[in-house]
Chain A
Amino acid sequence: MSSSPNPPRLAFAGALGQRAKGLELQEYALGIVVVLLFVVGSILKPETFPTWDNIRNMLTQSSVVGVLAIGMTFVIATAGIDLSVGSIVAAAGVFGGIMVGDDGTSSLIFIASAILFATFLGTCNATAIAYGRVVPFIATLAMFSIARGLALLLNDKLPVSLLDLNGGSFGDPRPGSLLWFGIGRIFGIPVSVYVFLTIAILGWIVLNRTRYGRYVIAVGGNREAARIAGVPVRRIIFSVYVLSGFLAGISTVLLCARLGSASPVSGNLYELDAIGAVVIGGTSLAGGRATIVGTFLGVLTFALIFSLMTQLNLSTEIQQVTKGLIVLGAVLLQRPEARY
């Protein structure tokens, strides 16, 4: 009796009148979080944190998971999930490395075969889910294991060096060489950051301004209603997993280009980072509500927090605990109004 009759969340939703505006508000809120984190970092570590080098590092590192997270946003928008992207990154990297061979020199072969292989693995997911009617969680969990196994099998558990492709070197890679995609710069900004930004912008346009994007959200929002309204539900579901695999291929190229090698143990737990970024961005795991801007800000939030924690000499174990807590907190904040 004494407590307020409405939980504050409900009041909030009522005042705004619509979910869509609530989503925008969440994006603003997350934007503020990103700015605050940057300010806090600059105060705590004024010499090292707000530097161009550090920003560049953060962006470069987040571009790998960032590209995965864009694909993940589409998958989660349909109320699906893709747990396999981290393993696919590893498998596609090793596969690309093998295709290049020991004396190969063309980075194009590596890029093409890595992306093709990742897309192929994504298509396997898509087929199992859309046509085999396997639950996405299970289908991609299986691929999580299969792709990791392939990554280890393909080159006998050994990493493949990609340093020499098109004369790349860590110092100043030539444009077009593989390393150039990882650490080369245009106007002082790493190429991988351009790739990430381009994909994020394209992702936004596709999700918000094309028929395809509208269908993706419709399928997640109400599958039966989408079907009755003439949305090709099965094809849409199929497509998001192919897309997720394709973007995992891009992510592979960015990662291997930065490291100069393809390791069968790389990409470990990347799927969780990607899902985490998507979820703190405000995309609903129940489907039907998705935001690329939120995902982008979610990726930045993670990057800032880890950069800061690293500089404060906090161990990776602590970082992992923090990561989990942030994701949990974000989901708690955005859960639908509890009605009991």
Chain B
Amino acid sequence: MTTVLEVRGLVKEFPGVKALDGVDLDVLEGEVHCLLGPNGAGKSTLIKCVSGAVEPTSGEILFLGEPLPQGDPAGSLKRGVATIYQELDLVPDLSVAESIFLAHEPRRGPLLDLDRMYRESEAVLARLGHDAIPVRAKVGKLRPAAQQIVSIARALSGEMRLLIMDEPSAILDEAEISTLFEVVRRLTAEGVGVIYITHRLDEIRRIGDRVTVLADGQTAATGLPASTSTDTLVELMVGRKVEQLYPDRPAGTDEVLLEVRGARRLPAVRGVSLEVRAGEIVGIGGLVGSGRTELLRLVYGLDPLDEGEIVLDGKRLRAGDPRAAIRRGLGLAPEDRKSQALVLDWSQAKNVTIADLRRFSRVLLDVRKERRTARQELRALNTVPDDPDRAVRLLSGGNQQKVVLARWLLHECRVLLLDEPTRGVDIATKAEIYRIITGLAGSGLGVLVVSSELEELAHICSRVLVMREGEIVAEVDGKEATELSLLRHAVAPTDAPDLVEEVV
């Protein structure tokens, strides 16, 4: 079998940091080579070196036996290296077709050949099994999952020998992940080599052929079979054994903290009622587009309610007013930390205290007290590095999430709303975040968690509610919940009529 990509002794130094310190990797034709490693291990730097976005300090990259031009993204692309980055790099105002053909638009003379562009875009999307995505729609109007698919379609529109995917599943739900995997299998059958970065070990078994583990910029192991045990992989990644990934789930009390009564905001949320009790972790599962995130936004007052009410501690919450919600003791850790939760240029300390500045302010801010208090909260969550002045831009996803959690710890909120709390977080930090959430529930908070990872909901929640098309279609006791049982509730009845009937 031909080797598509061969990386030998790759080193990349940034000032003060050695991001890569001798990495080896080879990718065969038609294989899915999974790349695993904690945040900061150098996965992103590695793929950026291959795609040409970053120029390595030393080492070689051979593509089909020939050295790949370094630091030349266009050159890499022309030879057939396609990359889909973790952060979606789409222009919201371009149409789907324009995005797919961005920088290699088909032309007739000096003019764009729009017909051909639309036609071929439709063909590429059909190849991905997503011909429902309208090629003339603006990308910004699509949901993140659909945007991801457009990104993949863009990579597919050129000649491709090597496809690099950086956590493509992070923003996809189960059904879409299955579709994605089908696409990947089709591509590998055509002989394309795939580098697949993921934090989810289950995906390695589902799609991977071989695994390479990076840790601290070095290859901890390469070319392992996909069947390698989870324990072994995790150990390689973190360099030590991780204790139990999921802590014991909290039971909760009888005291109702948060009540949602008939919350409705069309089209996403069509009448949802639920309760969160003190000490309880309530999960909300469902596919992307089922209205989970929108429901949290309604509860928090970010969007106005069409109908219904939110009741906290027996008193009605003013609708559409997040400030009132915060004052009454709600906190939200939103889906997208970078764009919705953090001021990236700010220090950790400032990001922690922003919701509670009143506490440090008479006429002037007591910045020393502020910093000291923030540091305490950050330490309590074991945030790395232990430096309250460090800009959050420079932190890993997991530590950014801890900063957001520290903010609401400081606020001493009553009910915490978490939207995808472990997205883009490595496995060791995931375990920590689960422990933090469970600990918070243990101290009497009510926690409402939305997650695409049904497995995590099944393991940490006291109860799991499953949403579908804007309504709650099932409530599953945490002890009985499994990833599969939740998924069955989440998919449309036409897909599994016999399973859903008994629930409704």
CB distance from B407 to the nearest CB of A (A): 7
Partner of A222, one of B14, B55, B344, B358: B344
Asked if residues A15 and B55 are in contact (CB atoms below 8 Å), the reply is no
Asked if residues A20 and B347 are in contact (CB atoms below 8 Å), the reply is yes
The answer for the CA separation of A1 and B75 in the assembled complex, in Å, is 14
The answer for the CA separation of A99 and B56 in the assembled complex, in Å, is 70
Partner of A221, one of B12, B327, B344, B390: B344
Instruction: List 16 A-B residue pairs with CB atoms under 8 Å apart, sorted by A's residue number.
Output: A17-B16, A211-B357, A211-B365, A214-B354, A214-B365, A222-B344, A224-B340, A227-B302, A228-B334, A229-B326, A229-B354, A229-B355, A230-B322, A231-B354, A232-B323, A288-B343
Asked if residues B15 and A6 are in contact (CB atoms below 8 Å), the reply is yes
Asked if residues B343 and A20 are in contact (CB atoms below 8 Å), the reply is no
Contact status of A5 and B57, CB under 8 A, knowing A214-B357, A227-B322: yes
Asked if residues B355 and A19 are in contact (CB atoms below 8 Å), the reply is no
Asked if residues A230 and B343 are in contact (CB atoms below 8 Å), the reply is no
Asked if residues B343 and A1 are in contact (CB atoms below 8 Å), the reply is no
Asked if residues A210 and B322 are in contact (CB atoms below 8 Å), the reply is no
Asked if residues B17 and A14 are in contact (CB atoms below 8 Å), the reply is yes
Contact status of A14 and B16, CB under 8 A, knowing A222-B344, A229-B355: yes
The answer for the CA separation of A211 and B362 in the assembled complex, in Å, is 9
The answer for the CA separation of A211 and B326 in the assembled complex, in Å, is 17
Q: Which of A287-313 contact B (CB under 8 A)?
A: 288-289
Asked if residues B345 and A221 are in contact (CB atoms below 8 Å), the reply is yes
Q: With a CB–CB cut-off of 8 A, which chain A residues contact B364? A: 205, 209-210
CB distance from A326 to the nearest CB of B (A): 25
Q: With a CB–CB cut-off of 8 A, which chain B residues contact A5? A: 12, 54-57, 71
Q: With a CB–CB cut-off of 8 A, which chain B residues contact A209? A: 364-365, 367
Q: Which of A188-239 contact B (CB under 8 A)?
A: 205, 209-211, 214-215, 217-218, 221-222, 224-232
Interface assignment of A18: CB less than 8 Å from any CB of chain B = yes
Q: With a CB–CB cut-off of 8 A, which chain A residues contact B347? A: 18, 20
Interface assignment of B70: CB less than 8 Å from any CB of chain A = yes
A-B pair number, CB within 8 angstroms: 100
Asked if residues A11 and B57 are in contact (CB atoms below 8 Å), the reply is no
CB distance from B163 to the nearest CB of A (A): 22
The answer for the CA separation of A102 and B194 in the assembled complex, in Å, is 84
Interface assignment of B341: CB less than 8 Å from any CB of chain A = yes
A positions within 8 Å CB-CB of B:
1, 5-6, 10-11, 14-15, 17-20, 205, 209-211, 214-215, 217-218, 221-222, 224-232, 288-289
Asked if residues B345 and A1 are in contact (CB atoms below 8 Å), the reply is no
Partner of B391, one of A11, A19, A214: A19
Interface assignment of B61: CB less than 8 Å from any CB of chain A = no
B positions within 8 Å CB-CB of A:
12, 14-17, 54-57, 70-71, 300, 302, 322-323, 326-327, 332, 334, 339-347, 350, 354-355, 357-358, 361, 363-365, 367, 389-391, 393-394, 407
The answer for the CA separation of A221 and B339 in the assembled complex, in Å, is 10
Q: With a CB–CB cut-off of 8 A, which chain A residues contact B54? A: 5
Asked if residues B365 and A210 are in contact (CB atoms below 8 Å), the reply is yes
The answer for the CA separation of A215 and B323 in the assembled complex, in Å, is 13
The answer for the CA separation of A6 and B339 in the assembled complex, in Å, is 27
Q: Mostly helix, strand, loop or mixed at chain B's interface?
A: mixed
The answer for the CA separation of A225 and B355 in the assembled complex, in Å, is 10
Q: With a CB–CB cut-off of 8 A, which chain B residues contact A228? A: 300, 302, 322, 332, 334, 340-341
7 more A-B residue pairs beyond the given contacts A225-B340, A288-B345, with a C-beta to C-beta distance below 8 A: A5-B55, A5-B56, A209-B367, A215-B357, A222-B343, A228-B300, A231-B354
The answer for the CA separation of A269 and B357 in the assembled complex, in Å, is 38
CB distance from A77 to the nearest CB of B (A): 12
CB distance from A183 to the nearest CB of B (A): 34
Q: With a CB–CB cut-off of 8 A, which chain B residues contact A230? A: 322-323, 326-327, 354-355
The answer for the CA separation of A224 and B347 in the assembled complex, in Å, is 18
Q: With a CB–CB cut-off of 8 A, which chain B residues contact A226? A: 343, 354
Partner of B389, one of A20, A218, A224, A289: A20
CB distance from A208 to the nearest CB of B (A): 8
CB distance from B395 to the nearest CB of A (A): 11
Q: With a CB–CB cut-off of 8 A, which chain B residues contact A221? A: 343-346
The answer for the CA separation of A17 and B392 in the assembled complex, in Å, is 11
Asked if residues A222 and B394 are in contact (CB atoms below 8 Å), the reply is no
Q: With a CB–CB cut-off of 8 A, which chain B residues contact A210? A: 361, 363-365
The answer for the CA separation of A17 and B361 in the assembled complex, in Å, is 28
Q: With a CB–CB cut-off of 8 A, which chain B residues contact A19? A: 345, 391, 393
CB distance from A126 to the nearest CB of B (A): 19
Q: With a CB–CB cut-off of 8 A, which chain B residues contact A225? A: 339-343
The answer for the CA separation of A15 and B358 in the assembled complex, in Å, is 34
Asked if residues A11 and B15 are in contact (CB atoms below 8 Å), the reply is yes
The answer for the CA separation of A138 and B319 in the assembled complex, in Å, is 32
The answer for the CA separation of A225 and B344 in the assembled complex, in Å, is 10
Q: With a CB–CB cut-off of 8 A, which chain B residues contact A15? A: 15-16
The answer for the CA separation of A215 and B343 in the assembled complex, in Å, is 11
